[in-house]
Structure 1
Amino acid sequence: MKAFVFPGQGAQYPGMGKDLYENSAEAKQLFDKANEILGFRITDIMFEGSADDLKQTKVTQPAIFLHSVLLAKTLEDFAPGMVAGHSLGEFSALVAAGALTFEDGLALVSKRAMAMQKACEVEPSTMAAIVGLDDEAVEEVCSSVAGVVVPANYNCPGQLVISGSVEGIDKACELLKEKGAKRALKLPVGGAFHSPLMEPAREELAAAIETTDVQKPVCPVYQNVNAQPVTDPSEIKQNLIAQLTAPVKWTQTVKNMIAGGATSFTEIGPGKVLQGLVKKVDRSMETSGIDKYEK
């Protein structure tokens, strides 16, 4: 069974999607529609902008979403057996599986980006990647530190990203190095994603998700908050709302997709991060990626 996975924030690169725009009439039409929906020409920034231009939150999330979704739409015989997306990528996965329309998916991603940006400005916060310790050891240290410090992304065995207040993350990194972490590296992000500090963004996005029409997807969508296959529209909504303040259970998702019958994983969208994470969960799994227009 073919599993398709969709990347999250950080995978963007200058020039992304330009070949799609130039070679596919359908992609061009949807890119032009995206410019209208967003109220600015995201295509100019994606195709001609610098890496710094692409780092703006209002640009990054819609850019990755557009690149991923339009690649999926231009694939011949796209018939996923199951899908999943890492954080932001969950929205791409839901559109690819037919649970959300392109227009609704893009509108939600844009709202999500703005809401997260606002939440980041409320309190200085950050994230850090912890490498070389098991999950339990990291969880234990997080719970021992005062203030908000929580596991945010269970990426693969031995790699967990933590999220919280700047002070709390600094203290946790110090303790985790003492515990034997190979690396405890603060990430160049604007805030504590997938932590309780995103509560204002969760509330804002919840209102938008509640009023959005979600259809039954063509295949199971393995969602971040519970790593389980979901097809019920109301459950999809609740999990999407919970996602902003809950950890991304990617390790568990990949394991469950393999247990559910996945025989190969194809990453659709910019970068190769998810292919690498799948291999770290199961070295024998066949992986591939599509980040350019294929005809």
Structure 2
Amino acid sequence: LLWEHFSREVGRRPTLMAGHSLGEYTALAACGFFSFEDGMRIVRKRGSFMEEACPSGKGGMVALIDPVMELVEMEVQRKGALLAIANRNAPDQVVVSGEMEALKELISGLRGRGYRRAIFLNVSGPFHSPYMKPAAERLEEELRKIEPKRMEIPVVFNVDAEPFRDGEEVFEKLKRQLYSPVQWERSMRRMAEEGIELFIELGPKNVLSNLARKVLPHVETMNAERLVDVERIKEALK
């Protein structure tokens, strides 16, 4: 609804689109790759498959603020299959996903030397990690039932931070997204390489706008949570 209102009222076509994790499906629906109804059906299936892939409470995710990446990556690798980098959001923020006890050991082992602050996320499982591979296989079956359409606007994908417009390769990217890190910092930098200087965030709060400014301090950002915010953006773009 917010995207439709924005498109109608602002009347300016974005050059590129992107969505963080689940938001990637919103971007794909907005750019016309699949219908709103197909998007809702796939998102529901995706959530169910992810919940079933790992019992509740067994795994989780933790955000590390101001991480020393060399130390974090070394400790994650040392844990093997138990941990994985889940989100590379900004220079000062990375998210680690995995088995809960291994996450606690990571936080304890790096305390005072590997990060400034650790925040356990309110999620039910170790998303964007190899634990989600069974869910990814099931998701692919559902994705293949969709008849894809050519995107009206290219989307920069989470798994490789590359803009893409059409083709069934999108299904493979969405499958991999479930068990691969969200390359959000790289995505922002890739969009800047394409000449993007204004980032407009549609949706609740302004988390992604804040991340964009951390990655690219020189860019301008705007965000719209409500329909009335679109009017503010429309006036600013005149």
- 2:67 aligned to which of 118, 125, 133: 133
Give the C-alpha shift of residue 184 in structure 1. Answer: 2.1
Distance 1:133 1:114, change over 3 A: same
Match of 1:279, SS state, is helix
Alpha-carbon distance in structure 2 between the residues aligned to 1:284 and 1:151: 27
- 2:186 aligned to which of 237, 243, 252: 252
Contact 1:145 1:171 in 2 (8 A): no
What fraction of aligned residue pairs are identical, expressed as a percent?
36
Give the C-alpha shift of residue 178 in structure 1. Answer: 4.4
The answer as to 2:48 corresponding to 1:114 is yes
Q: Number of matched residues?
A: 226
Alpha-carbon distance in structure 1 between the residues aligned to 2:71 and 2:198: 31
Q: 2:206 maps to what in 1?
A: 272
Residue 133 of structure 2 aligns with an amino acid whose one-letter code is: E
Q: 2:147 maps to what in 1?
A: 213
1:176-229 Cα offsets, whole Å, 9 max, x none, are 224331012222211101011112221221110122122121122100000111
Alpha-carbon distance in structure 1 between the residues aligned to 2:197 and 2:107: 37
Residue 97 of structure 2 aligns with an amino acid whose one-letter code is: S
Alpha-carbon distance in structure 2 between the residues aligned to 1:265 and 1:192: 29
Match of 1:81, SS state, is coil
Q: 1:87 maps to what in 2?
A: 21
- 1:288 aligned to which of 204, 222, 225: 222
Contact 1:226 1:249 in 2 (8 A): yes
Residue 126 of structure 2 aligns with an amino acid whose one-letter code is: A
- 1:222 aligned to which of 156, 159, 167: 156
- 2:30 aligned to which of 96, 110, 113: 96
Counterparts of 1:141-160 in structure 2 under 5 Å?
141-160=75-94
Residue 101 of structure 1 aligns with an amino acid whose one-letter code is: S
Contact 1:98 1:215 in 2 (8 A): yes
Alpha-carbon distance in structure 2 between the residues aligned to 1:78 and 1:205: 34
- Contiguous gaps of at least 5 residues in structure 1: 1-69
Counterparts of 1:195-206 in structure 2 under 5 Å?
195-206=129-140
Contact 1:267 1:288 in 2 (8 A): yes
The answer as to 2:23 corresponding to 1:105 is no
Alpha-carbon distance in structure 2 between the residues aligned to 1:226 and 1:213: 23
Give the C-alpha shift of residue 135 in structure 1. Answer: 3.3
1:98-145 Cα offsets, whole Å, 9 max, x none, are 111111111111111111222232771011011112433322210012
Q: 1:71 maps to what in 2?
A: 2
Q: 1:44 maps to what in 2?
A: none
Residue 205 of structure 2 aligns with an amino acid whose one-letter code is: G
Instruction: Give the TM-score taking structure 2 as reference length.
Output: 0.90
Alpha-carbon distance in structure 1 between the residues aligned to 2:69 and 2:144: 33
Give RMSD over aligned pairs: 1.6
Distance 1:237 1:147, change over 3 A: closer
Contact 2:185 2:215 in 1 (8 A): yes
Report the more deviating stretch, 90-99 or 74-83.
74-83
